[in-house]
Amino acid sequence: GESVGLHLPTLSVQEGDNSIINCAYSNSASDYFIWYKQESGKGPQFIIDIRSNMDKRQGQRVTVLLNKTVKHLSLQIAATQPGDSAVYFCAEIAASNTGKLIFGQGTTLQVKP
Amino acid sequence: DGGITQSPKYLFRKEGQNVTLSCEQNLNHDAMYWYRQDPGQGLRLIYYSQIVNDFQKGDIAEGYSVSREKKESFPLTVTSAQKNPTAFYLCASANPRRGQNEKLFFGSGTQLSVL
């Protein structure tokens, strides 16, 4: 079946360090992946996305890496700041499953001052 | 919140009562979605609509109903048949182009609790 999972429920990092949040998926037909950030009591906020024809994409302070061979997705946050503290979700969708985004459980990122 | 407005922010339901959560978007998006989020959990799809006057059940549609009479509106009714309605409800919209999936934009959510 389809599943999207995150390796760690909570990640604690020191302010200024780099953070790496990992995600595994099982549907090899998935061709579009998104990372969302959710702060307490708010809706998820789009961070960055990547399509399956790419293996890396960079944004402002964030990089997403996609390894289709092992069905692994990661989000790297450079110079982590207190404002980065939130729950991070990865989500996947297959072209054949238009509109049905499948979300992982989420990883809580805690930034220590 | 990316042009998606959910209301109310907090809602309380009495036993046996139906309640309706509002979701309005001014992004001119064709597709709209309702997700349920339980504490410490990911998002689960309740219903989605790809176009006006059409909608499909998601993974946990039992006890819920929707309508899509207008492009900008996708209200969700939590019926009395939903025995565990307490959760955070999120509405989202997207504009798939040329068969490609696109990112979802989310509203700020409605917290539903049972009295």
Q: Which residues contact A97 (CB under 8 A, 6 or more apart)?
A: none
B2 pLDDT above the threshold of 60: no
CA distances from A78 to A21, A22, A55, A64, B81 (A): 12, 15, 18, 11, 47
Beta strands in chain A (DSSP E): 4-6, 10-14, 19-25, 30-38, 45-51, 56-58, 62-67, 72-77, 86-94, 102-103, 107-112
pLDDT tens string A64-108: 999 999 999 999 999 999 999 999 999 998 766 666 788 888 899
CA atoms within 13 A on the CB side of A73: 32
Residue A99, chain B, CB below 8 Å: the answer is: yes
Residue A50, chain B, CB below 8 Å: the answer is: no
Tell me if A43 and B94 make a contact (CB, 8 A cut-off): no
B115 pLDDT above the threshold of 90: no
List % helix, strand, coil for chain B (3-state, nearest 5): 0, 50, 50
Return the pLDDT at A29.
Answer: 84
Residue in A81, A76, A78 with CA at minimum distance from that of residue A107: A76
Tell me if A98 and B99 make a contact (CB, 8 A cut-off): yes
Return the pLDDT at A93.
Answer: 84
Q: What is the 3-state secondary structure (H, E, C) of A80-105?
A: CCHHHCEEEEEEEEEHHHCCCCEECC
B32 pLDDT above the threshold of 50: yes
- Best mutation target among A25, A38, A53 (most B Cβ atoms within 10 Å) is A38
d(CA A43, CA B99) in angstroms, rounded, equals: 26
**Amino acid symbol at B80:** S
Q: Which residues contact B49 (CB under 8 A, 6 or more apart)?
A: B31, B32, B33, B55, B56, B66, B68, B74
Residue in A46, A27, A25, A50 with CA at minimum distance from that of residue A88: A46
Tally of residues, chain B: 115
pLDDT tens string A7-62: 458 999 999 999 999 999 888 888 889 999 999 889 999 999 999 999 999 999 99
Structure tokens, B8: 């109310």
The residue with greater pLDDT, A99 or B26, is B26
Residue in B34, B54, B56 with CA at minimum distance from that of residue B44: B34
Return the pLDDT at A103.
Answer: 87
Return the pLDDT at B1.
Answer: 46
- Best mutation target among B103, B105, B108, B113 (most A Cβ atoms within 10 Å) is B103
Tell me if B103 and A43 make a contact (CB, 8 A cut-off): no
d(CA B4, CA A44) in angstroms, rounded, equals: 12
Q: Which residues contact B84 (CB under 8 A, 6 or more apart)?
A: none
Chain A contacts in chain B segment 3-62 (CB below 8 A):
4, 6, 31, 33, 35, 40-45, 48, 50, 58
In this structure, the dihedral spanned by the alpha carbons of residues A24, A27, A33 and A36, taken in order and rounded to 10 degrees, is -50
Residue range B84-107: average pLDDT? 84
Residue A47, chain B, CB below 8 Å: the answer is: no
A4 pLDDT above the threshold of 60: no
